Amino acid sequence: MTHHSATSADLAADTPRTTPRVTVIGTGYLGATHAACLAELGYDVLGLDTDPAKVADLAAGRLPFYEPGLAELVERHTATGRLRFTTDPAEAAEFADLHFVCVGTPQRRDSMAADTSHVEAAVASLVPHLRRDALLVGKSTVPVGTAAGLQALADEAAPADVRVGVAWNPEFLREGRAVDDTLRPDRIVVGVTDPLHEKVLRELYAPVVDTGVPFLVTDLATSELVKVAANAFLATKISFANAIAELCDAAGGDVVALTDAIGHDARIGHQFLSAGLGFGGGCLPKDIRALMARAGELGVDEALTFLREVDAVNMRRRSRTVALAVEECGGSVLGRRIAVLGAAFKPGTDDVRDSPALNVAAQLQLQGAHVRVHDPRANATAARTFPTLGYADTVEEAVTGADLVLHLTEWEEFRALDPAALEPARRVVVDARNALDARRWADAGWRVRGLGRPAVGPVPVTP
């Protein structure tokens, strides 16, 4: 069977669709998920990445990171050959006429801005190999204006007689729920400059849109901004709850009861209102900083100065947790044994990018504590980033003999622990995610310190 590609030219001519082929450039958390989910929807997919080790893993059907439900999809679709991987841009250019760009846009080392060099490199490596008209669809989170810049780059790099379009299709998936968020998203947003590009994408996403998912079409700049605005709003909501937690600490209130009470107002809602150690990960922290930086470049930095406070409130959660640990150790953690439960930036993932848990663990180690970290999934990724921290294979190994326990990532496993069965030197836990059942722990003889809520349980003697 000759494969047919989902090109704008084909669709313009109303050519019937056979098995459309797509490539996904950048096969990290976002790209691997997108590629596997497109295969699940019935497309022939080729993933392209510059990292040969990652490509070798994926090509062998192995997911190089943890994401619930994704390993099964990768294994199944690589086995049938519907999902393949390469490091060769020429192969990708030949394979399809629709290319999704999913490479990273990390924070630059020298400023708060996003580093768009990987996106530019991805386009520059593919486009010269194109021999037919093609559509590049960006999914990476980028500063507004990037797509227009990439169009200019593509126009310049394209061989004569090859027309390359650029569209934007921001991604809203959450790690830990990436497969479900991709196959059943709240909405699909596409930014286009040409109705044909809209048609190509509408057709590609038909299996999803036909289930009732809103398909929202806008211009390039708006689509880029939708993504960063959504993340800025989510970050603001979390920091709002954490700012109120600071107030609760000062006044003796309980932020958990408070956010529950305000969340009942449907205009506010309960989601993303959990006060605690704050947000980390590969998205929210870098995205609010990149948005502030871009606003500055556009001369409207004042519009977003509040995001500086959102960031500052968030970073204070980490120092507040360290301070609580020091307080509970009688003024210094020097020589203290501290068990850290959690390393991932949130439960459900092994991702430790900008992990608040590891940041706290590292700060305590710097102050002279003997830190033992246990995470159900992220010990290995954490050890690669922070090799000098101690790691334990089990909760018991981390906690036994500890002077203090810190609960920093709210895995279900930790919530289900039997506090009576643990054997630390002192029964004190700092629940920086406000997620443990404090009453149950107190009943088992533990003193429980939350963030933004009163301490519960007995006060043990500090040796």
Ligand X SMILES: O=c1ccn([C@@H]2O[C@H](COP(=O)(O)OP(=O)(O)O[C@H]3O[C@H](CO)[C@@H](O)[C@H](O)[C@H]3O)[C@@H](O)[C@H]2O)c(=O)[nH]1
Ligand Y SMILES: NC(=O)c1ccc[n+]([C@@H]2O[C@H](COP(=O)([O-])OP(=O)(O)OC[C@H]3O[C@@H](n4cnc5c(N)ncnc54)[C@H](O)[C@@H]3O)[C@@H](O)[C@H]2O)c1
Closest CB to ligand X among 6 and 228? Answer: 228
Amino acid at 227: K
Q: Which residue is catalytic, options 37, 102, 248, 283?
A: 283
The C-alpha angle 203, 153, 108, rounded to 5 degrees, equals 100
Out of 31, 47, 276, 457, point to the residue binding ligand Y (CB under 6 A). 31
Tell me the two tokens of residue 319: 């120092």
Full DSSP string of 127-138: GGG--S-EEEEE
Closest CB to ligand X among 26 and 280? Answer: 280
Closest CB to ligand Y among 92 and 196? Answer: 92
**Interacting positions 112-141 with ligand Y (CB under 6 A):** 118, 121-122, 125, 140-141
**Interacting positions 356-385 with ligand Y (CB under 6 A):** none
Interface with ligand Y: number of residues (CB under 6 A): 27
440 binds ligand X (CB under 6 A): no
Out of 345, 391, 414, 441, point to the residue binding ligand X (CB under 6 A). 345
**Residues of the chain by 3-state class (helix, strand, coil), percent to 5:** 45, 15, 40
Closest CB to ligand Y among 30 and 275? Answer: 30
Amino acid at 59: A
Tell me the two tokens of residue 361: 């663990």
Out of 36, 98, 283, 430, point to the residue binding ligand X (CB under 6 A). 283
228 binds ligand Y (CB under 6 A): no
Side-chain-side CA neighbours of residue 38 (13 Å): 27
Of the candidate spans 100-108, 117-125, 276-284, 448-456, the one that interacts with ligand X by CB under 6 A turns out to be 276-284
105 binds ligand X (CB under 6 A): no
293 binds ligand X (CB under 6 A): no
How far apart CA 13 and CA 402 sit, in angstroms, is: 70
Instruction: Provide, rounded to whole angstroms, the least separation between the CB of residue 434 and ligand Y.
Output: 24
Which of the choices ligand X, ligand Y, none does residue 308 contact, using the CB cut-off of 5 to 8 A by kind? none
CA distances from 96 to 1, 24, 37, 44, 136 (A): 15, 10, 17, 9, 11
Instruction: Provide, rounded to whole angstroms, the least separation between the CB of residue 25 and ligand Y.
Output: 5
Of the candidate spans 40-48, 267-275, 335-343, 385-393, the one that interacts with ligand X by CB under 6 A turns out to be 267-275
Of the candidate spans 29-37, 188-196, 332-340, 368-376, the one that interacts with ligand Y by CB under 6 A turns out to be 29-37
Helix (H, G, I), strand (E, B) or coil at 448: strand
21 closest CA partner among 125, 150, 134: 134
Cα 111 to chain centroid distance, Å, stands at: 21
Amino acid at 331: G
Asked if 139 contacts 109 with a C-beta cutoff of 8 angstroms, the reply is: no
Which of the choices ligand Y, ligand X, none does residue 280 contact, using the CB cut-off of 5 to 8 A by kind? ligand X
Out of 280, 282, 450, 452, point to the residue binding ligand Y (CB under 6 A). 282
How far apart CA 304 and CA 298 sit, in angstroms, is: 12
> In this chain, which residue has its C-beta nearest to ligand Y?
28
Full DSSP string of 173-214: --TTSHHHHHHS-S-EEEE-SSHHHHHHHHHHTHHHHTTT--
Helices (H), ranges, 269-355: 284-297, 306-328
Instruction: Provide, rounded to whole angstroms, the least separation between the CB of residue 189 and ligand Y.
Output: 12
**Interacting positions 336-355 with ligand Y (CB under 6 A):** none
Answer yes or no: 283 catalytic: yes
How far apart CA 226 and CA 218 sit, in angstroms, is: 10
313 binds ligand X (CB under 6 A): no
Q: Fill in the per-residue mask, 372 to 411: x = in contact with ligand X (CB under 6 A), - = not in contact.
A: ----------------------------------------
Instruction: Provide, rounded to whole angstroms, the least separation between the CB of residue 141 and ligand Y.
Output: 3
How far apart CA 378 and CA 373 sit, in angstroms, is: 10
Helix (H, G, I), strand (E, B) or coil at 409: coil
Q: Fill in the per-residue mask, 92 to 111: x = in contact with ligand Y (CB under 6 A), - = not in contact.
A: ----------xxxx------
**Interacting positions 163-222 with ligand X (CB under 6 A):** 171-175
352-377 exposure pattern, b = at least 16 Cβ within 10 A, e = fewer: bbbbbbbbbbbbbbebebbbbbbbbb
Asked if 193 contacts 166 with a C-beta cutoff of 8 angstroms, the reply is: yes
Of the candidate spans 28-36, 317-325, 367-375, 403-411, the one that interacts with ligand Y by CB under 6 A turns out to be 28-36
User: What does residue 98 show for φ and ψ, rounded to 5 degrees?
Assistant: -125, 120
Out of 23, 44, 47, 54, point to the residue binding ligand Y (CB under 6 A). 54
Helix axes 306-328, 220-251, angle to 10 degrees: 40
Out of 82, 209, 272, 413, point to the residue binding ligand X (CB under 6 A). 272
Which of the choices ligand X, ligand Y, none does residue 279 contact, using the CB cut-off of 5 to 8 A by kind? ligand X
Helix (H, G, I), strand (E, B) or coil at 325: helix
Which active-site residues does the annotation give? 283
Binding footprint of ligand Y on the chain (CB under 6 A): 25-31, 48-51, 54, 102-105, 118, 121-122, 125, 140-141, 171, 173, 175, 282-283
Binding footprint of ligand X on the chain (CB under 6 A): 141, 171-175, 231, 234, 238, 272-274, 276, 278-281, 283-284, 287, 345-346
